Copies of this chain bind each other. A is one copy, B any other.
Amino acid sequence: MAEQPHTVVIVGGGFGGLAAAKALRNAPVRVFLIDRSNHHLFQPLLYQVATAVLGSGQIASPIRNILRDQSNVTVLMGEVSGVNKEARQVFVSDVDRKEVPVSYDSLILATGAHHSYFGHDEFERYAPGLKSLADAVAVRNKILKAFEQAEAEEDPSRHRDLLTFVLVGAGPTGVEMAAAIATLIRNSLKSDFRRIDPTSARVVLVDRSKRILGSFSENLSEAANERLKSLGVEILLERGVDEIDEDGVIVAGERIASKTVIWTAGVTPSPAGKWLEVETDHAGRVRILGDLTVPGHPEVFVVGDTASLDQDGKPLPGVAQVAMQQGKYAGKLIHRRLSGEPPPRPFRYFDKGSMAVVGKSFAILQSGKVAISGFLAWMAWAAIHLEFLAQSSLRVSVFVQWVWTYMTEQRGSRIIVDHHTTPAPETATKPATEAPAPVANR
List the interface of chain A (C-beta within 8 A of B).
Answer: 36-39, 43-44, 55-58, 60-62, 64-65, 68-69, 71, 73-79, 94-96, 113-121, 124, 132-134, 137, 144-145, 148-149, 151-152, 169, 171-174, 191-195, 208-209, 214-215, 240-242, 264-271, 273-274, 280, 282-284, 305, 315, 317-320, 393, 396-397, 400-401, 404, 408, 410, 412-420, 422-442
Contacts and interface: CB of A to CB of B under 8 A. Distances in A.
Contacts of A241: 432
Given A144-B38, A194-B74, A429 B268 contact: yes
Contacts of A148: 38, 76-77, 94-95
9 contacts: A37-B420, A39-B415, A56-B56, A95-B145, A171-B442, A269-B439, A274-B426, A282-B437, A393-B412
A302 B414 CA distance: 29
Specify which of A65, A401, A432 lies most central, judged by the most chain B CB atoms within 10 Å of its CB.
A432
A118 B192 contact: no
A305 B424 CA distance: 17
A441 B152 contact: no
B114 A319 contact: no
State how many copies of this chain the complex holds. 2
A116 B429 contact: yes
Given A74-B194, A149-B94, A440-B319, A418 B55 contact: no
A414 to B, nearest CB: 5
B96 A149 contact: yes
Given A95-B145, A419-B134, A283 B442 contact: no
B413 A57 contact: yes
Contact of A56 (B39, B317, B417, B433): B417
Contacts of A215: 440
B119 A432 contact: yes
B57 A430 contact: no
A404 B145 CA distance: 33
A53 to B, nearest CB: 10
A191 B441 contact: no
A410 B433 contact: no
Contacts of A412: 57, 393, 397
A134 B420 contact: yes
B120 A423 contact: no
A264 B430 contact: no
